Structure 1
Amino acid sequence: MTKATLSHQHAADQTAIQILVSGSLMPPGVSYKLRSALRSLADNTHRELAKRGAKGSFLEASIRGAEAETLLAGKQGVIVLGGADIDPGCYGQAACTGTIYGLNIEADKFELDLMRSAAKRGIPILGICRGMQLMNVLRGGDLIQDIGSDTIHVGSDENSVMVSHLVEIAEGSRLARMYIDKQISVRSAHHQALNRLGTGLRVAAQAADGIIEAVEDSGEHWMVGVQWHPEELSASKQDFRSLIEHFLGAARDHARLGD
């Protein structure tokens, strides 16, 4: 690579929208298969950001070395990825099922603090699967610790296998402005779900069985969470592109307004 090319690349990196991508991709006690699946989903997210002209910086939540405020400096958006279960202590409960796996309360506390700090600064936040569940916990909501193995949402014991099902997009939601169809097929793998909705959140999508599939901030802040995995390779590429483009649009608006 020539000096001119390197200089051009550096300039592009300096002007690109900067996105902090947080994930807990090494939860304790889980299989190599699940860890590989989580890494693949993170890689797919970074590829999509790059295609849209954004620069993603990945942060492993379980081994981060700086505080949230420091990590958010110069960032115009935050994505919190999927992963293992959230410690029930984070929403004031004790574990009531043996199906909970991969708990790491320090990673939970860090990602909650990251979203709290980003929200205070008006930085757009996109939560995927675990990221959406953390969003609800942040706002004082809680979770159904196990929805059962005989549902449309579960493909394997530790959710390393995706399944397809339909979700209904709520009229008037931000998601409704992203998707032409109000019923879309999604790819998901989760044995937990939102129960009591957090303060200031509204339901943006539901499955046929009533499980909440997406939430968003009911005010002006761009904060959207989806329970499904739009970044999974078999998911609709158009749906993922639309979601990322709207998120990056909000990030660019935030950049124009200043931090």
Structure 2
Amino acid sequence: MRPVIGITSYVEPAAWGPWDAVRAVLLPEAYVARVVAAGGLPVVLPPAAALDPAAVLAHLDGLVLAGGADLDPALYAAEPDPRTTGLRPDRDAAESALLQAALEQRLPLLGICRGMQLLTAAAGGTLCQHLPDVVGHEGHRPEPGVYGRHAVRLSPGTLAHAVLGDEVTVASYHHQGVDTVGSLVASGTVPDDGSVEAVEVPGHPFALGVLWHPEVDEDLRLFEGLRAAAQDHRSRQS
């Protein structure tokens, strides 16, 4: 049986048929497609803070924290920069609760872009609210709707290295980055500018965050790693 992988989602105005600007639960199909291709059974999770996270996770074998809008800087005890925009308090609240419960249950999880930033904040780390100020270029988000392409070097002895090897070329779309990692391990960096692109929870079977967007590429190794860890988690619970 395929392990059940929950994927967090957005609530955004959407249009279809005669309906316009209707609030809808949305998720780019690529996330679902990659989970299926890696051997998982995807379940889309709405950002409903009223749901009991433990009850939700009881039905899951793994979790993907999807990308999206900027985090509220209050999550890492910072004042908002004017360029921090599009805050989604519903996602912040619901996903923070899910993440905390997943970590307590040692549920396998993969944080993607925003999800990696949420993992960082939950571990006591902080974010740089506008990465070009630090690295001096716009290569991580070159234009609206255009992914940047760059290398990420993975640190030997880490989970990220075990899954991806020494170096990968990735698709990035973010203007914020990691400042401090808190209790996490920084396991991947950009060779050209030194910015952190992967973090992980030490001692956890599979709790990995990446700042890039693996769902838009054909490389399934991160999703396959999550699926394998989810299968192991299911076996341990049965």
**TM-score range relative to shorter protein:** 0.7 to 0.9
Matched-pair contact (CA < 8 Å) for 2:9–2:27 = no
Q: In the alignment, which residue of structure 1 is the partner of 2:186? A: 203
Q: Is the 8 A contact 1:25 1:83 kept in 2?
A: no
Q: Choose the corresponding residue for 1:256, options 232, 235, 238.
A: 235
- Write the distance in 2 (CA, Å) between the matches of 1:66 and 1:160: 32
* CA displacement 1:121-173 (0-9 Å, x = unmatched): 110010000000000001111100111273321223xx532111111111111
Between Structure 1 and Structure 2, whose CA radius of gyration is higher? 1
C-alpha displacement at 1:65, in angstroms? 4.9
- Runs of 5+ unmatched residues, structure 2: 14-25
The aligned residue for residue 23 of structure 1 is: 9
Matches within 5 A, 1:173-184: 173-180=158-165, 182-184=166-168
The structure that is helix-richer by fraction is 1
TM-score, normalised via structure 1 length: 0.80
Map of 2:213 onto structure 1:
229
2:91 to 79, 100, 107: 107
Mapped to 2, the partners of 1:65 and 1:57 lie a distance apart of 18
Task: Please give the alpha-carbon distance, in whole angstroms, between the structure 2 residues aligned to 1:53 and 1:179.
Answer: 18
The match for 2:153 is: 168
Q: For the Cα contact (< 8 Å) 1:127–1:224, is it kept in 2?
A: yes
**CA contact under 8 A between 2:49 and 2:90: conserved in structure 1?**
no
How far off its partner does 1:179 sit? 2.3
Matched, 1:219 2:203: yes
Mapping 1:72-151, distance limit 5 Å: 72-95=57-80, 97-148=81-132, 150-151=137-138
Alignment of 1:24-63 (within 5 A): 24=10, 26=12, 39-40=27-28, 43-61=29-47, 63=48
Using the alignment, how far apart are the partners of 1:101 and 1:47 within structure 2?
29
Provide the identity percentage. Answer: 30
CA RMSD between the two structures: 2.1
SS in structure 1 of the partner of residue 215 of structure 2: coil
Give the aligned partner of residue 19 of structure 2.
Answer: none
Query: How big is the shift at 1:16?
Result: 2.3
Q: Separation in 2 of the partners of 1:39 and 1:70?
A: 22
In the alignment, the residues of structure 1 paired with residue 154 and residue 34 of structure 2 have an alpha-carbon distance, to the nearest angstrom, of 23
Query: What secondary structure sits across from 1:82 in the alignment?
Result: coil
TM-score when scaled to structure 2? Answer: 0.87
Q: Deviations over 1:10-48 (max 9, x none)?
A: xxxxx3211111123538xxxxxxxxxx843xx112112
The reply on whether 1:152 has 2:139 as its aligned counterpart is: yes
Q: Which runs of 4+ in 1 moved over 6 A?
A: none
Q: Is the 8 A contact 1:24 1:82 kept in 2?
A: no
1:64, distance to aligned residue in structure 2 (A): 5.6
- 1:238-257 map, 5 Å: 239=219, 241-257=220-236
> For residue 4 of structure 1, what is the aligned residue in structure 2?
none
| Distance of 1:175 and 1:139 partners within structure 2 | 18
Letter in 1 for 2:148: V
Q: Which runs of 5+ in 1 are unaligned?
A: 1-14, 28-37
Cα distance in structure 1, aligned partners of 2:38 and 2:215: 14
Give the aligned length: 224
8 Å CA contact retained: 2:2, 2:39: yes
